[in-house]
Chain A
């Protein structure tokens, strides 16, 4: 199997993280020369007063209610991107603020592409590095920690007419600023906190074991794994604890930076396929598939070596030292299983695909979809259809 001796690493996002991060917004908007931002969010965040928290932090510029779009759906679509872009042009906006989770952030990325590339049909820009214009100032304020979208160079936008998901990968999609304030994620219940935490865990594990692993993204992935190992279970047990919350927000961000640069792998590819074909939650699918995907990767020496480091990051040094070198990779999988079992006990995260609504009759279509996910090209070995089927069977 080939491994890499060349890598590219790109992470230009300014990150303001922690207590009072929101209060830096006035300064940052001025620095970015934004006086009329378009704010994208959804109704739920408005009802939870998260939007009010944002608006009360912006005191130096006036926000007209028309500058706020609260109707972003749970999946970014071409239709909402087009509508938001039109609003941006009509109001003469000069920057974008995405307040929310992945769908809202992806919608904002789509708006930025349409405005900056001066196109009407976003579908013409699908692919890798298709954007070349100067992007609009773009601020992301995540309200879920896990997706790492605030630091990711990709966006998935659904074309509901053709029922296709359009994938955009470009360094131009990265925001200028990510504001990560624990206040914005306090409202996440234990179940969602667990699920998004697992999402970050998958990102870090796959970034560390993919073909494009490199010293820089490795540093982010291992730092994220250390934080996840120490803070995910305590946070799910005590979702209002600020220290745990900040730690997990930072872990998700770092895992996002890591996987943006060294790609995801087989677990992500199958999880995405389950989400698209069986319409199950992405986080739930990943939680179920993670140990099975890691177990599959144990057959590659290269992954076994990486898993030893993962064991050290997730557990204490004593456990690492007391485990025989040849058993450490397996113990890393065991450690992940331990975290997932605890999360099941605390928050009821699923452990079987059947439990979340994946049907065995969906398997062939899931395999087909997963085989054509670009993340699979980055996975160890030459993943074959039978490999994916066996993981699905084991996880069912």
Chain B
């Protein structure tokens, strides 16, 4: 079961990271929140500290997806879960990321204000991908998608991954 959770965590996290990029251009709320982050800013997110991180780069107001990296360097903000099972609760839509943060399940290395910004975006991205019930429960308001779930997931899967140094 743990291995299954591990695979689900990795897959969903990758979809979340890719969706992040797609929604920057398609969702005004995501775009606005991303504007809060400084330019030339690198974000790494993982299910646990020692695991592989998905890396996102904000460069000249554009957002790029760099895929999974082990022990990435030159990162401005690292977010990871205290334990892989905690990550599973969030990535399998059993718990909102905001709730996980409140429960001390999320660890942050870097500026907390920027971490809050990324958490807001992850919450929106999750609401896009997951069921309407989950979106309503986590966001507590009627969430309207500015692009369809299917369109988002397909675009995310086909997204080009940046290669090379971070």
Binding site for B on A (CB under 8 A): 1-2, 4, 6-8, 126-130, 164, 166-167, 169, 210-212, 263, 368-369, 371-374, 376-378, 381-382
Set A8, A130, A376, A381: member contacting B116, Cβ < 8 A: A376
Determine if B95 and A127 form an interchain contact, defined as CB atoms under 8 angstroms apart.
no
Shortest CB distance B94–A (Å): 10
Bound CA span A368–B113, Å: 10
Determine if A129 and B103 form an interchain contact, defined as CB atoms under 8 angstroms apart.
no
Given A2-B137, A382-B139, A382-B141, decide whether A7 and B112 contact each other with a Cβ distance below 8 A: no
Given A210-B102, A263-B102, decide whether A377 and B116 contact each other with a Cβ distance below 8 A: yes
Bound CA span A8–B119, Å: 20
- Most-contacted residue by chain B among A1, A127, A369, A378 (CB, 10 A): A127
Bound CA span A302–B117, Å: 26
Bound CA span A348–B101, Å: 38
Given A373-B116, A382-B139, A382-B140, decide whether A6 and B110 contact each other with a Cβ distance below 8 A: no
Shortest CB distance B15–A (Å): 22
Shortest CB distance B139–A (Å): 6
Which residue of A has the minimal Cβ distance to B137?
Answer: A2
Determine if A377 and B101 form an interchain contact, defined as CB atoms under 8 angstroms apart.
yes
Determine if A374 and B141 form an interchain contact, defined as CB atoms under 8 angstroms apart.
no
Which residue of A has the minimal Cβ distance to B117?
Answer: A372
Determine if A128 and B112 form an interchain contact, defined as CB atoms under 8 angstroms apart.
yes
With an 8 Å Cβ cutoff, the count of chain B residues facing the other chain is 29
Which residue of A has the minimal Cβ distance to B106?
Answer: A128
Given A372-B36, A373-B116, A382-B141, decide whether A2 and B107 contact each other with a Cβ distance below 8 A: no
Per-residue A-contact encoding for B4-41, CB less than 8 Å = 1, 0 else:
00000000000000000000000000000000100000
- In the complex, which residues of chain A have a beta carbon less than 8 angstroms from the beta carbon of B99? 2, 4, 211
Determine if B115 and A127 form an interchain contact, defined as CB atoms under 8 angstroms apart.
yes
Set A1, A2, A164, A212: member contacting B111, Cβ < 8 A: A164
Per-residue A-contact encoding for B103-130, CB less than 8 Å = 1, 0 else:
1111111111111110100000000000
- In the complex, which residues of chain A have a beta carbon less than 8 angstroms from the beta carbon of B119? 377
- In the complex, which residues of chain B have a beta carbon less than 8 angstroms from the beta carbon of A382? 139-141
Bound CA span A126–B141, Å: 33
Which residue of A has the minimal Cβ distance to B95?
Answer: A2
Set B102, B109, B113: member contacting A4, Cβ < 8 A: B102
- In the complex, which residues of chain A have a beta carbon less than 8 angstroms from the beta carbon of B139? 382
- Most-contacted residue by chain A among B78, B112, B115, B141 (CB, 10 A): B112
Shortest CB distance A22–B (Å): 34
B98: CB under 8 A from chain A?
yes
Set A4, A6, A128, A371: member contacting B107, Cβ < 8 A: A128
Determine if B110 and A378 form an interchain contact, defined as CB atoms under 8 angstroms apart.
no
Which residue of B has the minimal Cβ distance to A8?
Answer: B104
Set B95, B101, B103, B138: member contacting A374, Cβ < 8 A: B101
Binding site for A on B (CB under 8 A): 36, 78, 95-96, 98-99, 101-117, 119, 137-141
Interface SS majority for chain A = loop
Shortest CB distance B42–A (Å): 15
Bound CA span A378–B103, Å: 9
- In the complex, which residues of chain B have a beta carbon less than 8 angstroms from the beta carbon of A376? 116
Determine if B112 and A167 form an interchain contact, defined as CB atoms under 8 angstroms apart.
yes
What 7 A-B pairs come out closest when comparing CB atoms?
A372-B113, A127-B108, A212-B102, A211-B102, A128-B108, A127-B109, A378-B102
Bound CA span A282–B98, Å: 26
Determine if A169 and B103 form an interchain contact, defined as CB atoms under 8 angstroms apart.
no
- In the complex, which residues of chain B have a beta carbon less than 8 angstroms from the beta carbon of A368? 36
Bound CA span A221–B114, Å: 30
Determine if B103 and A6 form an interchain contact, defined as CB atoms under 8 angstroms apart.
yes
Given A2-B99, A127-B109, A381-B140, decide whether A374 and B115 contact each other with a Cβ distance below 8 A: yes
Bound CA span A142–B63, Å: 46
Given A382-B139, A382-B140, decide whether A126 and B103 contact each other with a Cβ distance below 8 A: no
Determine if A374 and B112 form an interchain contact, defined as CB atoms under 8 angstroms apart.
yes
Determine if B112 and A169 form an interchain contact, defined as CB atoms under 8 angstroms apart.
yes
Which residue of A has the minimal Cβ distance to B140?
Answer: A382
Determine if B113 and A377 form an interchain contact, defined as CB atoms under 8 angstroms apart.
no
- Most-contacted residue by chain B among A4, A6, A164, A378 (CB, 10 A): A6
Given A376-B116, A377-B116, decide whether A127 and B103 contact each other with a Cβ distance below 8 A: no
Determine if A372 and B95 form an interchain contact, defined as CB atoms under 8 angstroms apart.
no
Determine if A377 and B107 form an interchain contact, defined as CB atoms under 8 angstroms apart.
no
Shortest CB distance B105–A (Å): 8
7 extra interface residue pairs, beta carbon distance < 8 Å, beyond A127-B111, A128-B107, A371-B116: A126-B110, A129-B107, A211-B99, A378-B101, A378-B102, A382-B139, A382-B140
